[in-house]
Chain A
Amino acid sequence: MKFNRMLLLVFAGLISVLLTACGAAPLANWPGMTSDGKNVYLSNGQVVYTVKVSDGTELTTTATDGSSVSMRFPPKLDSAPLFYVAPTFYGAPALTPDGQMILGDASTLTNVHSIYSVDPATDSTKWTFAEAKGNWIAGAVVSTDAIYAAAGDGKVYAIDFKGKKLWDVNVSDHALWTSPVTDGKLVYVATLAHDVIALDPTTGEQRWKKTLDNAIIGAPAISADGMLYVGTLSGNLYAINAAEGSQVWLTQLQGGIWSTPALDGDTLYVGTSNGTAGKFYAINPADGKLLRTIDDTGAIVASPLITKDQVIYVTEEGHINFFHKDGSRSIPVISIENAKIYTTPILVGDLILIAPMNAPFILAAYNQTGVQQWTFAPK
């Protein structure tokens, strides 16, 4: 009987380890990506991949033993320290003018919530900034002389290019999930607690605060003529005077707005999620009047992409939609089987880059006529 009890205990131990190892609640989110024109950097959980835009292959380097090693951040550890918690990245990497890649760790299994400055050429860490008391869901934004980042502790941090804190300011009792944006005059941050807040870029002092009707997930879009366009989960799209924070107009859309609207001259584009369906809107930015509406069977969570001749939006159903700017469809819908797309597509040269989830690949490039050029799946 004693032997049986021992067996049971060993079995229980194994089950526990399995449950813990295989079933740990993942901090799931969609990937973020950015490009310097030559490479695309994809934050996809515990790895940031560097993929060549030219052919979709992963950038490699030569190891000391002569073998070819993929350029990934964080680099593989020869031996992890005791209690090592791997960082997690979801926000789009930010690139500084002097060539640093800025990444925020979204992991919550540690009390050290770092922003990493990485040299993309070597994948080595140049500096880390670990003063925040919360994780980093959103990507940072870079101006000519500072990095602005919104943290899970409700604070916005301004950091110089050497990792030194310039200022921090508490703007919310809740975690911040949207990237700050700046027009050079002010830094704007939207919060889950329904606020849009403008901060002085040199001191962090609050200039104005506008409370909207619901939580804000997408960062505001800034127009050249000093307007902010921002949507809430209620589907209300606001135009706000960027200098003063006063509301210029408000348009009620159907479904919730989860992303940043895209501005193209005299048209503002935004998608909504209404259950599992969605709507895509073209709006007059001057007065908020609807110009066109497209019903879609898939929810639209990502921001649209504007190219020279087309407007492209992606849906949760894994569809990529191409439209002429007059609203007519330019290319039949492209569908990635079983995929879900939440990440905003980016344009690099002539290529449209898509980062799907649940697909056999995590990155795909299409030309302007919708022909797939390459896909990337990590080995």
Chain B
Amino acid sequence: MGLLWDSLIVQPFTNMLLLIYAFVGNFGLSIILFTIIIRLVTHPFMAAQIKSSTGMQKLTQSDEWKAMQEKYKKDQEKLSQETMRLYKENGINPFASCLPSLIQLPIMIGFYQSIVRAIGATPMQLLSVVRSIYPGMENITHAASLSALIPIHSQFLWMDLGQPERVFLGAFLAALGIPAVGIPVLAIIVGLTTYLQTKLTMPASSGPNDQSAQMTQTMSIMMPLMLFMFTLNYASGLAVYLITSNLIGVLQYAALGKVNWSSLIGRKPEVVEVVVKPVKQLPKKKSAKRS
């Protein structure tokens, strides 16, 4: 399984990253460009996810849905049959909202592994890089040959992309009598941009009892916190990827007209009027009482 993962995901990603590096000569730019490519490639999945989530949200807030839930709450089999019928009639694929995430997650993990591998911060890690490079790479450009690629310039702006990033305020803190402490600037930016993205792409609430909106609200705190902690001790190349990915994500949502600017300035998201296309009347059941 490990070998399959390596040869299907990590190795191609590593080579792609190194190939971009061979052309642009800057590893930080390579990560940014590769992130943009990956976001573009996965854009159709993301658009499908947004479309499906919006449709699903509208459907679950409709009277039709609520009536069905109430009617068949004691008959799980019938409830699932009717749920599927409603999905079908409204053109919603319930798996379309989670499938894109399932596709994007291994890409993110694989991409991180390829960044760490490509940089090779020790001889042992370099051994892994050398083994990952496809023999045909140098036929594309001489800059992609082993001798031209190694050593990788892992410096980008103020950071070493193969190492966790810290900005040391040594002189400033020493003057205050405090030992040098590294400030994880990039991890903070990751947290901020993740918060920004979650806030901006948060769907409008359909009402005060909208559980999905409440869950999203919780996620808008959880995700930045998790990714901040995650990037603290990981190679800063991952942070560059996450920041780029977050910003491109906002742009993608904006292009689809789904950015919720009001949530950023603190205004409560406006309540959406739910309109669901009429469907056939539910079959009546003697025991069921309409509320």
- B65 contact set on A, CB distance < 8 A: none
The minimal Cβ–Cβ distance linking B261 to chain A, given in whole angstroms, is 24
Chain B, Cβ-Cβ closest to A81? B179
By the criterion CB–CB under 8 Å, are A215 and B150 in contact?
yes
Most chain A CB within 10 A, of B126, B182, B225, B235, is at B126
Contact stretch, chosen from B98-106, B115-123, B273-281 = B115-123
Which of B130, B182, B232, B233 has a CB less than 8 Å from the CB of A110?
Answer: B182
Contact stretch, chosen from B19-27, B28-36, B159-167 = B159-167
Chain A window 266-302, contacts with chain B (Cβ cutoff 8 Å), 1 for yes, 0 for no: 0000000101100000000000000000000001010
Q: How far is the CA of A232 from the CA of B236 in the complex (A)?
A: 29
Q: How far is the CA of A8 from the CA of B223 in the complex (A)?
A: 11
Asked if B170 CB lies within 8 Å of chain A CBs, one says yes
Which of B153, B160, B226 has a CB less than 8 Å from the CB of A19?
Answer: B226
Q: How far is the CA of A192 from the CA of B130 in the complex (A)?
A: 13
Q: How far is the CA of A215 from the CA of B130 in the complex (A)?
A: 11
Asked if A90 CB lies within 8 Å of chain B CBs, one says yes
Which of B122, B150, B218 has a CB less than 8 Å from the CB of A8?
Answer: B218
Contact stretch, chosen from A24-32, A117-125, A329-337 = A24-32
The minimal Cβ–Cβ distance linking A300 to chain B, given in whole angstroms, is 12
Q: How far is the CA of A299 from the CA of B130 in the complex (A)?
A: 13
Chain A window 238-279, contacts with chain B (Cβ cutoff 8 Å), 1 for yes, 0 for no: 000000000000000000101000000000000001011000
Supposing A8-B222, A20-B230, A20-B233 touch, asked if A342 and B124 sit within 8 A by C-beta, the answer is yes
By the criterion CB–CB under 8 Å, are B123 and A137 in contact?
yes
Within B201-224, which residues are at the interface with A (CB < 8 Å)? 211, 214, 217-218, 221-222
By the criterion CB–CB under 8 Å, are B122 and A258 in contact?
no
Within A298-312, which residues are at the interface with B (CB < 8 Å)? 299, 301
Which of B122, B163, B229 has a CB less than 8 Å from the CB of A20?
Answer: B229
Within B231-259, which residues are at the interface with A (CB < 8 Å)? 232-235
Q: How far is the CA of A25 from the CA of B237 in the complex (A)?
A: 12
Q: How far is the CA of A9 from the CA of B124 in the complex (A)?
A: 38
Q: How far is the CA of A28 from the CA of B226 in the complex (A)?
A: 25
- B127 contact set on A, CB distance < 8 A: 258, 273, 299, 301
- B222 contact set on A, CB distance < 8 A: 8-9, 12
The minimal Cβ–Cβ distance linking B146 to chain A, given in whole angstroms, is 6
Supposing A25-B235, A273-B127, A275-B131 touch, asked if A137 and B180 sit within 8 A by C-beta, the answer is no
The minimal Cβ–Cβ distance linking A312 to chain B, given in whole angstroms, is 21
Q: How far is the CA of A174 from the CA of B153 in the complex (A)?
A: 8
By the criterion CB–CB under 8 Å, are B151 and A276 in contact?
no
- B182 contact set on A, CB distance < 8 A: 109-111
- B42 contact set on A, CB distance < 8 A: none
Asked if B288 CB lies within 8 Å of chain A CBs, one says no
Asked if B168 CB lies within 8 Å of chain A CBs, one says yes
By the criterion CB–CB under 8 Å, are A111 and B168 in contact?
yes
By the criterion CB–CB under 8 Å, are B124 and A28 in contact?
yes
Chain B, Cβ-Cβ closest to A256? B130
Main secondary structure of the interface of A (DSSP, over half): loop
Q: How large is the interface on B (under 10, 10 to 19, 20 to 34, 35 or more residues)?
A: 35 or more
Q: How far is the CA of A159 from the CA of B44 in the complex (A)?
A: 60
By the criterion CB–CB under 8 Å, are A29 and B123 in contact?
yes
Within B142-156, which residues are at the interface with A (CB < 8 Å)? 146-147, 150-151, 153
Asked if A89 CB lies within 8 Å of chain B CBs, one says no
Asked if A183 CB lies within 8 Å of chain B CBs, one says no
By the criterion CB–CB under 8 Å, are B234 and A24 in contact?
yes
By the criterion CB–CB under 8 Å, are A13 and B121 in contact?
no
Within A1-53, which residues are at the interface with B (CB < 8 Å)? 1, 5, 8-9, 12-13, 15-17, 19-20, 23-25, 27-30
By the criterion CB–CB under 8 Å, are A108 and B160 in contact?
yes
Asked if A194 CB lies within 8 Å of chain B CBs, one says yes
Asked if A315 CB lies within 8 Å of chain B CBs, one says no
Asked if B125 CB lies within 8 Å of chain A CBs, one says yes
The minimal Cβ–Cβ distance linking A70 to chain B, given in whole angstroms, is 26
By the criterion CB–CB under 8 Å, are A15 and B226 in contact?
yes
Q: How far is the CA of A236 from the CA of B234 in the complex (A)?
A: 35
Asked if B181 CB lies within 8 Å of chain A CBs, one says yes
A-B contacts besides A5-B217, A9-B222, A19-B229, 20 pairs, CB < 8 Å: A9-B225, A12-B222, A16-B225, A20-B232, A24-B164, A25-B164, A25-B234, A27-B121, A110-B182, A111-B180, A173-B153, A174-B153, A192-B150, A192-B151, A214-B150, A233-B146, A275-B131, A276-B131, A301-B127, A342-B124
A-B contact pairs, 17 of them (CB 8 A): A1-B211, A12-B222, A12-B226, A15-B226, A20-B232, A24-B234, A30-B123, A106-B122, A109-B166, A111-B182, A192-B150, A194-B147, A215-B151, A217-B123, A233-B146, A256-B130, A299-B127
Query: Sorted from nearest, which 10 A-B pairs have the closest CB atoms?
Result: A16-B229, A24-B233, A192-B151, A29-B122, A12-B222, A214-B147, A108-B163, A111-B168, A215-B150, A174-B151
